[in-house]
Chains A and B, each alone.
Chain A
C-alpha cells in the first residue's frame, strides 16, 4: 500500500489566479487559515487553525518547490505526522484549471486507512454511533 493521497479539483479561473490563491498569504488566509506563507524556497511558515481537544491547530511547513504557475511543494507537519504536499496546476483551456494535490508521508497505514475510510463512507454510520 502506498501511503499517499492524490486528489484533483477543477475550477473556473485562470492559472495565474489559481497560483496566487495557493501562494498569497492573504488569499490563503481566506480559504485555509491564518498563516505566514511566502512562495520562497526554504521559507518556514505556519498555518494556525483553531485548536481542538486532539489537535493544537498548528501546521509547520517549509517551502520546497516554487515553479510558478505550475508547481508548488511544501512540507506539512503537525503532531507526529510529517507530510509533503505538492500542488500541480494545469490549464485546461476554456477558463478551466485543474488543481492536482499529492500528499505523501502518512506515518502509518492505519492512519491512511482511517482517513480513506473516513472520506469514503464513515460519517453516516459514525454520527449515529456518537449520538448514542
Chain B
C-alpha cells in the first residue's frame, strides 16, 4: 500500500465524510489556517484538528506553523493510490459493460 511509509492507509483517511470535505476545501486553496477550516464545520477546533491529524498520517496533508497559527495544505500524491484502485474497479465493470454492449451490437449485424 504505501510507498512513502505513511502511517495510515489512504482509504482509511477518506472513509470519513468530514475528511473528504477537508480534502475538498484544501484542494481549492494553497494553504488554509486551522481556524478557517474549523469555521466550515459544525464541530469544534479539536475535532477538526483530529481529522487533520489522520489526514497527515496518511500523507495527504502537510502543515506548518506561521506565527501563532498552523496552516494546512493538501498533498495529493497519496490520493493516486485511491484513484488507481477506483479506476481499476471502474474500468473493470463500467467500461467493460459498455464493451459488452458493443459486442452484442456487433453480433446483431
Residues in B whose Cβ lies below 8 Å from that of A101:
93
Interface residue from B12, B89, B96 paired with A31 (Cβ < 8 Å): B96
CB atoms of B104 and A132 under 8 A apart = no
A-B pair number, CB within 8 angstroms: 94
The verdict on A129 contacting B86 (CB below 8 Å), with A21-B100, A110-B9, A114-B15 known, is no
Q: How many residues of B contact A (CB 8 A)?
A: 36
Residues in A whose Cβ lies below 8 Å from that of B27:
125, 128-129, 132
The verdict on A119 contacting B90 (CB below 8 Å), with A114-B15, A130-B79 known, is yes
By beta carbon, the residue of chain A nearest B85 is A114
Interface residue from A21, A55, A110 paired with B84 (Cβ < 8 Å): A55
CB under 8 Å from chain B, chain A span 1-48: 7, 9, 11-13, 17-18, 21, 27, 30-32
CB atoms of A129 and B76 under 8 A apart = yes
> B36 in the interface, Cβ–Cβ < 8 Å?
no
Bound: A113/B23 CA distance, A: 16
CB atoms of A119 and B107 under 8 A apart = no
Residues in A whose Cβ lies below 8 Å from that of B86:
114-115, 117-119, 122
CB under 8 Å from chain B, chain A span 34-85: 52-55
Q: How far is the CB of A14 from chain B (nearest CB, A)?
A: 9
CB atoms of A129 and B79 under 8 A apart = yes
Bound: A52/B94 CA distance, A: 19
CB atoms of B79 and A118 under 8 A apart = no
The verdict on A54 contacting B89 (CB below 8 Å), with A113-B15, A125-B24 known, is no
CB atoms of A55 and B88 under 8 A apart = yes
CB atoms of A31 and B103 under 8 A apart = yes
Residues in A whose Cβ lies below 8 Å from that of B103:
21, 27, 30-31
Q: Mark A88-110, 1 if CB is under 8 A from B, else 0.
A: 00000000000101000000111
Taking Cβ atoms with an 8 Å cutoff, the residues of A that contact B are 7, 9, 11-13, 17-18, 21, 27, 30-32, 52-55, 99, 101, 108-111, 113-115, 117-119, 122, 125-126, 128-130, 132
Taking Cβ atoms with an 8 Å cutoff, the residues of B that contact A are 9-12, 14-15, 20, 23-24, 27, 74, 76, 79-86, 88-90, 92-94, 96-97, 99-104, 107-108
22 inter-chain pairs at a CB distance below 8 angstroms, sorted by A residue, are: A9-B97, A11-B101, A13-B107, A17-B104, A18-B104, A31-B102, A32-B99, A54-B81, A54-B85, A55-B88, A113-B11, A114-B10, A114-B14, A114-B85, A114-B86, A118-B82, A119-B89, A119-B90, A125-B27, A129-B27, A130-B80, A130-B83
